[in-house]
Structure 1
Amino acid sequence: MSNNSSSVGNALVLLRLLQERDVLRVSDAAGELGVARSTAHRLLASLKEHGFAVQDGDRSYSLDPRQRHGHRALTPESLVPIARPHLEWLVGKTNESVHLIVPEGQMVRAIDTVEGTQMLRVGSRVGVLVPAHTAAAGLLFLSGMPVERLAAMYSDGPPRDSGAKTIEEFHASLQLHRPYAVSLGRAERGVNALAMLVTDQNNNRVAAVSLVAPAFRMPPQGMPEVAALVKECVQRIHANILDRA
């Protein structure tokens, strides 16, 4: 087989792996193909260059959303204008800041913020990467992963500050028993957050809406009331996504 044919074949194998997995590390790709890490890295970089893959914050790769869902797929750029009016609605109801957040491997990133109206408020966090296991939105993304995918993402073991000694313990700690997740000062000291998922027309988890406020204004006992408003916000966003599909 020629080198070109071999490269094409390996690229197709990687594309299939990207379709099957949430994340793909260079070392895992090299092992699957039986090639050097440098070769696997070159192939993944080529898939990224041609719009088939994206590189996450922890340098792992995942399938470009446009390839997973077709040309009408939601990207962060297309989701922001859809969600923005509803984020503004939520701020109007609560006077607190709201983030629109997407996953990036072991991290999450805010792609839009509407700041609250209070003098003391949480400011914009657009572009800031935060460890997923510390953020309310990140807990939502991680909670839906099978333990095998979680193990691939955290190949060096659970985060040290998670309290878990094994991936299995980490996986068990992430399971949620309600439709929202909270973070009480973990991602940012003195700031509490409540987040709910935004899904697309295929019920894929594409983002999360996170309401954030100083802890003294959003204590745990007030979370159910906040959750009802966040739920209405994500339902409004989902309805607009369906209109767009």
Structure 2
Amino acid sequence: MQNKPMGTIRKPTYMLESVDNALLLLQLLRDAGAIRLKDAAAELGTAPSTAHRLLAMLVYRGFAVQDEKRMYHPGPALGVGPASQGWTRDFTDLCRPHMEALAALADETVNLVIRVGSQARFLWTAEAASILRVGDRRGQVLPAELTAGGRILLAELPRAVLEQLYLRPADEPHISHGPSPAYETDRRMAIGEFEEFAHELEAARKLGFAVNVEQTEEGVAALGVVIRNGRGAAVGALTVAVPINRYRQHLRGKLVAQMQAAVRGIEVDVADIAGPDVPNSTVQK
């Protein structure tokens, strides 16, 4: 029997149609740049309702975004490479027991976040048991400056690095590259906006936690606390996402103290974690 050459792609014996359709939509977003719901349904050969459910999941996981004209565009998770290798798996495994304990104690959803350049990546989620809760965020990629975990990690950066990431030169016009302000690829700010942003980060650093109130999802707020290794380097953040109607009571209650206690336990276990291969003072693009 003649062997097939290396790299030959074989059609799976058992095709998972929903998975295949989701992957086809990813390819469409990658190659076409923008698609309408009716065009997606036509390409897949499915009912619009089926295409809508698939696209909704891609939006939820950050692989697609929808603009005000209801067009779908590639989301932030489509254009990102992997985080630096060799440490995130161990980091996640060490954090998980503490996250599950905190989720049970606070009865709210707990997330583990790292920063890669100007992006916040969600490594793991421990969901609450409450019926009204925020769902699983594993795998999502969002603009760091909009998320609680991303903001508290950005607050650790030197001023010069923040300027590299977010300050737009005075003589350079702003050009929108995204379907909505929340998902523009150019995250840089004019000097006035940048100074206000830097002031907010400094305030979060002094408080010991950062907040996100409906900046990434309507009806959801979050609080974030930094996680450091044994050398004092910020390697990630613990965040708790809550329905907006419970945000104020948590802000005035025990949640921040509970998060900080969980982080102290995590930091004992992750003391030897090296963290990213590049220091926080290096800008990653």
TM-score band (shorter)? 0.5 to 0.7
Match of 1:209 among 214, 220, 238: 238
User: For the residues of structure 2 that align with 1:242 and 1:186, how far apart are their CA atoms?
Assistant: 32
Deviation at 1:185, TM superposition (A): 1.3
Q: For the Cα contact (< 8 Å) 2:167–2:188, is it kept in 1? A: no
- The residue that corresponds to 2:152 in the other structure is 140
Deviation at 1:76, TM superposition (A): 1.2
User: For the residues of structure 2 that align with 1:193 and 1:206, how far apart are their CA atoms?
Assistant: 19
- The residue that corresponds to 2:229 in the other structure is 200
* 1:81 maps to 2:93: yes
- The residue that corresponds to 1:116 in the other structure is 128
Deviation at 1:144, TM superposition (A): 1.7
Query: By percentage of residues, which structure has more helix?
Result: 1
SS state at 2:207 partner? coil
Deviation at 1:213, TM superposition (A): 1.1
CA displacement 1:44-94 (0-9 Å, x = unmatched): xxxxxxxxxxxx979899x9576xxxxxxxx21111110000001101101
* 1:165 maps to 2:177: no
Residue identity (%)? 25
Tell which structure's C-alpha radius of gyration is larger: 2
Q: For the Cα contact (< 8 Å) 1:184–1:192, is it kept in 2? A: yes
Change (3 A) 1:220 1:105: farther
Match of 1:182 among 190, 196, 211: 211
Q: For the Cα contact (< 8 Å) 1:102–1:110, is it kept in 2? A: yes
TM, length-normalised to structure 1? 0.65
- The residue that corresponds to 1:90 in the other structure is 102
Q: For the Cα contact (< 8 Å) 1:57–1:104, is it kept in 2? A: no
Change (3 A) 1:243 1:221: closer
Pairs aligned (count): 182
User: For the residues of structure 2 that align with 1:155 and 1:84, how far apart are their CA atoms?
Assistant: 36
Q: For the Cα contact (< 8 Å) 1:184–1:193, is it kept in 2? A: yes
Deviation at 1:242, TM superposition (A): 3.1
Q: For the Cα contact (< 8 Å) 1:193–1:210, is it kept in 2? A: yes
User: For the residues of structure 1 that align with 2:253 and 2:78, how far apart are their CA atoms?
Assistant: 34
Deviation at 1:172, TM superposition (A): 2.5
Deviation at 1:126, TM superposition (A): 0.8
User: For the residues of structure 1 that align with 2:188 and 2:271, how far apart are their CA atoms?
Assistant: 40
Q: Which ranges in structure 1 are unaligned for 5 or more consecutive residues?
A: 1-55, 67-74
